[in-house]
């Protein structure tokens, strides 16, 4: 123990100065009162230094740890509570004339209400603050609204159906159903109505939903049908049996489709063959004709230009040339002669071109009249023929 004067008072320690001039950290008792300047005996605290950074670090670390713990707890608790609160325990449908289905939790609070017809929509639109309310309160309001709107005068029956989304213990389920049934019965004691209860399976409820009705409604319709026509069950069975042969037609259809497919392929192939086969036969002469026509046109076009003054005489010559050509084509000739003819034809063309050029050269001079030109042509042509004959 040492003695000194208090220089400063911290939250967890004292700053002391001894008579020897030493500044030292002193132990602070939580229940003792201290004042600066007071001389007191004290127990020095050694080994620990004042380090602001470390303290702040520790404090931050602790704060972070605490916040993480709180966050973890929230993550664990809140989703559980939410899911527990929002988890559907049972579906209860009420078919009066309005058709409604109530979703209840384990505590018999209403989580959701679904309407399946216009009358139900009317009831639901007039119902307020039903979510998370107790089932007895909600059903009481529903029945009051039905009475006000006159639906109980139209019918004297309440069909109650329950369905459970999950497998439940038999006793728990039974007690739950009894409590709901008792609740509804108590609420309607003053009304001359009959309550009928039935339990629907999950599959039945799904089927009903697919058809857009409550499970109770579906079950009631089925019962009516059975009551009206007992034989309908057999018919239904027959229909079911008849449905079985419907398996065969798909097979046949498939085979037909396959056969049809094969035929199609065959037809396509045939069409391809048909298309392919005649094309070379049919197109080749046409193409040849076209080619010839083009050639003729090409040959004719340069003639037109310089021979414009000779128009009245040229058509005749052209017509003659055509007739000759066609006549040649019609006649049959041996291969050797055909080649010769072709050669002769080529030469003639060359000669004709030469002649034309010569004429063209002579034409601008204007020495000879047009009539003379025609005569010269006739003479030359005759010469050519004679020359060929001599050959």
Partner 1 sequence: MLNLLLLSLVKRKTTIEEKAVRIQNGEEELLSSLLDEYKPFIKKTVSSVCKRYITESDDEFSIGLIAFHDAIVKYNTEKGSSFISFSEVIIKRKVIDYIRKNGKYQDISVDMNNTDDEDLPSLHIEQLAAVDEYQRKEDARLRREEILQFTKQLEEYNLTFEDLIDASPKHEDARMNAINISMIVVNEMEFKDYLLAKKRLPIKKLEKTVSVSRKTIERNRKYIIAMCLILMGDYVYLKDYLKGRLG
CB 36 to partner 1: min, Å: 5
- How far apart (Å, rounded) are the C-alpha atoms in residues 112 and 98? 16
**Nearest distance in Å: CB 61, partner 1:** 21
* Strands of the 23-27 sheet, one edge to the other: 23-27, 13-18, 2-9, 39-42
Q: Single out the segment in contact with partner 1 by CB under 8 A; choices: 22-30, 80-88, 204-212, 351-359.
A: 22-30
Alpha carbon separation from 321 to 78, 284, 317 (Å, rounded): 108, 24, 6
- Asked whether position 15 contacts partner 1 by CB under 8 A, the answer is yes
CB closer to partner 1, 40 vs 124: 40
Under the binding rule (CB under 8 A), the answer on residue 24 touching partner 1 is yes
Contact, 103 vs 168, CB < 8 A? no
Its sign, for the CA torsion 45, 48, 49, 55, is negative
Q: Angle CA(249)–CA(252)–CA(254) in degrees, nearest 5?
A: 105
Residue selected from 1, 30, 33, 35 as contacting partner 1 according to rule CB under 8 A: 35
Minimum gap (Å) between residue 4 Cβ and partner 1: 9
Query: How many of the chain's residues bind partner 1 (CB under 8 A)?
Result: 20
Residue 36 binds partner 1 (CB under 8 A): yes
Distance CA 360, CA 78 (A): 111
- Binding partner 1 (rule: CB under 8 A), the pick from 25, 109, 141, 205 is 25
Q: How far apart are CA 44 and CA 41, in angstroms?
A: 10
- Asked if 391 interacts with partner 1 (CB under 8 A), we say no
Q: Work out which of 39, 84, 112, 154 binds partner 1, going by CB under 8 A.
A: 39
Residue 263 neighbours by CB under 8 Å, 6+ apart: none
| Residues 175, 183: Cα–Cα separation, whole Å | 12
Which residue stretch of 3-11, 165-173, 276-284, 296-304 sits at the interface with partner 1 (rule: CB under 8 A)? 3-11
Nearer to partner 1, 21 or 334 (CB): 21
Candidate segments 7-15, 134-142, 245-253, 288-296, binder of partner 1 by CB under 8 A: 7-15
**Measured from the CB atom, is 7 or 88 closer to partner 1?**
7
Q: Is 36 within 8 Å of 76 (Cβ atoms)?
A: no
Asked whether position 68 contacts partner 1 by CB under 8 A, the answer is no
Tell me whether residue 23 or residue 61 sits nearer to partner 1 (CB atom): 23
Residue 19 binds to partner 1 (criterion: CB under 8 A): yes
Query: Of 22 and 221, which has the nearer Cβ to partner 1?
Result: 22
Q: Is 12 in the site for partner 1 (CB under 8 A)?
A: no
DSSP 248-308: HHHHHHHHHHHHHHHHHHHHHHHHHHHHHTHHHHHHHHHHHHHHHHHHHHHHHHHHHTTTG
Q: How many CB atoms lie within 10 A of CB 135?
A: 21
Query: To the nearest whole angstrom, how small is the minimum distance from the Cβ of residue 81 to partner 1?
Result: 48
**Does position 34 bind partner 1 by CB under 8 A?**
no
Q: How far apart are CA 164 and CA 215, in angstroms?
A: 12
One residue of 33, 49, 128, 171 binding partner 1 per CB under 8 A? 49
Least CB distance to partner 1 at residue 52 (A): 8
Dist. CA 275–CA 269, nearest whole Å: 10
Residue 59 in the binding site for partner 1 (CB under 8 A): no
Name the residue with tokens 């398996």: 247
Binding footprint of partner 1 on the chain (CB under 8 A): 5, 7-8, 15, 17, 19-25, 35-39, 49-50, 52
């Amino acid at each position: 123990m040492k003695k000194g004067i208090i220089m400063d008072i911290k939250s967890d320690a004292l700053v002391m100065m001894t008579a020897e001039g030493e500044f030292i950290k002193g132990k602070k008792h939580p229940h003792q009162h201290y004042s600066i300047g007071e001389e007191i005996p004290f127990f020095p605290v050694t080994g620990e230094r004042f380090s602001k950074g470390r303290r702040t670090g520790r404090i931050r670390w602790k704060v972070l740890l605490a916040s993480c713990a709180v966050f973890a707890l929230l993550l664990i608790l809140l989703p559980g509570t939410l899911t527990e609160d929002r988890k559907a325990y049972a579906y209860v449908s009420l078919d009066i004339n309005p058709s409604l289905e109530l979703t209840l939790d384990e505590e018999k609070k209403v989580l959701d209400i679904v309407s399946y017809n216009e009358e139900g929509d009317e009831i639901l639109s007039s119902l307020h603050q039903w979510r998370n309310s107790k089932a007895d309160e909600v059903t009481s309001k529903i029945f009051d609204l039905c009475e006000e709107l006159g639906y109980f005068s139209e019918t004297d029956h309440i069909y109650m159906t329950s369905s459970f989304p999950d497998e439940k213990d038999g006793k728990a389920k039974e007690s739950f159903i009894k409590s709901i049934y008792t609740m509804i019965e108590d609420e309607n004691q003053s009304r001359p109505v009959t309550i009928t209860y039935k339990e629907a399976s999950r599959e039945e409820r799904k089927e009903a939903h697919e058809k857009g009705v409550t499970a109770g409604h579906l079950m009631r319709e089925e019962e009516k049908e059975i009551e009206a026509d007992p034989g309908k069950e057999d018919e239904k069975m027959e229909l079911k049996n008849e449905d079985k042969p419907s398996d065969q037609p798909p097979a046949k259809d498939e085979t037909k489709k396959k056969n049809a497919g094969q035929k199609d392929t065959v037809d396509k192939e045939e069409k391809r063959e048909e298309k392919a086969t005649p094309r070379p036969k049919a197109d080749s002469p046409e193409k040849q004709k076209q080619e010839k026509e083009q050639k003729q046109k090409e040959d004719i076009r340069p003639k037109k230009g310089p021979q414009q003054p000779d128009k009245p005489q040229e058509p005749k010559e052209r017509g003659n040339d055509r007739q000759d050509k066609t006549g040649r084509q019609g006649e049959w000739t041996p291969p050797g002669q055909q080649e010769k003819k072709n050669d002769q034809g080529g030469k003639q063309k060359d000669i004709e071109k030469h002649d034309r050029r010569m004429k063209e050269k002579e034409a601008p001079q204007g020495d000879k009249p047009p009539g003379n030109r025609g005569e010269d042509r006739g003479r030359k042509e005759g010469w050519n023929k004679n020359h060929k004959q001599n050959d």
